[in-house]
Amino acid sequence: MSGDWLRYLSMGGGGGALAGVHLGLVYALLANREQRYYRSKAMITSDAEIERVELAPAAALFRSLGDPARLMIVRRLAVGPARVTDLTAVLGLAQSTVSKHLACLRDCGLVASEPAGRASVFRLAQPALADMLASAEAVLAATGNAVALCPIWGGDCCDGNKS
């Protein structure tokens, strides 16, 4: 499994700011798997640590979608390409807010843009993202939106640091 993720990351997988970020860490963990401590005790990197590193790009993907405004933008772009002015009108968000979130999504490799005169037209760079959102909505429907009622992640909690 780690070989697949290494290939994925080395080829720029994860897109934008994620490309290659964790590659050095994965190599270091794998290389140090049998390295010895100064006390001659074998330093074994657990499979859980390697799995955690391998799942880091997936966790970053979900964090990139963790803002309701970004989800609204992605949901709208799943219908078809749009300009910033189109998104502000439909979503009721300020132009600066839409632009900021589009920049984040573009840096993550989730949206792409093409110039159209003085404006840019944005579209989903990864069509599978629309399918992922549909799957998430199906999970929410199946759980009766229990996630929204979760005392740690639901409701008004937006930083995930509740104890």
The crossing angle, in degrees rounded to 10, of helices 68-79 and 84-91 is 110
Domain-located, residue 27: yes
Both tokens assigned to 8: 């994925």
Asked whether residue 114 falls in the same domain as residue 96, the answer is: yes
> Residue 112: phi, psi to the nearest 5?
-130, 160
Asked whether residue 35 falls in the same domain as residue 80, the answer is: no
Q: Which domain holds residue 96?
A: 68-124
Neighbours of 90 (CB within 10 A): 14
Q: Is it the case that residue 129 has pLDDT exceeding 50?
A: yes
Asked whether residue 47 falls in the same domain as residue 22, the answer is: yes
Domain-located, residue 158: no
Asked whether residue 6 falls in the same domain as residue 56, the answer is: yes
DSSP state letters, 29-43: HHHGGG-B-TTS-B-
Nearest Cα residue to 15 out of 111, 83, 102: 111
pLDDT given at position 36: 46
The crossing angle, in degrees rounded to 10, of helices 128-142 and 68-79 is 120
Asked whether residue 97 falls in the same domain as residue 119, the answer is: yes
Last residue of a domain, one of 15, 33, 60: 60
Of 16 and 106, which is predicted with more confidence?
A: 106
Domain-located, residue 151: no
Global pTM?
0.64
Asked whether residue 49 falls in the same domain as residue 77, the answer is: no
Rg (CA), the chain: 20
Q: Is it the case that residue 120 has pLDDT exceeding 60?
A: yes
Last residue of a domain, one of 60, 83, 105: 60
- Tell me the CATH number at 83: 1.10.10.10
Domain-located, residue 156: no
Domain count, the chain: 2
Asked whether residue 111 falls in the same domain as residue 81, the answer is: yes
* pLDDT tens, position by position, 30-89: 454 444 444 555 556 688 888 989 999 999 999 999 899 999 999 999 999 999 999 999
Q: Is it the case that residue 26 has pLDDT exceeding 50?
A: no
Please enumerate in sequence order all residues whose Cβ is within 8 A of that of 35, keeping only pairs 6 or more positions apart, or say none. Answer: 43
In contact, 21 and 61? CB cutoff 8 Å:
no
pLDDT given at position 23: 45
- For the chain, give the percent of residues with pLDDT over 90: 48
Asked whether residue 75 falls in the same domain as residue 53, the answer is: no
> Which residue intervals of the chain are DSSP H helices?
2-10, 23-31, 47-64, 68-79, 84-91, 95-107, 128-142, 146-149
Domain-located, residue 73: yes
The 3-state DSSP class for residue 108 equals: coil
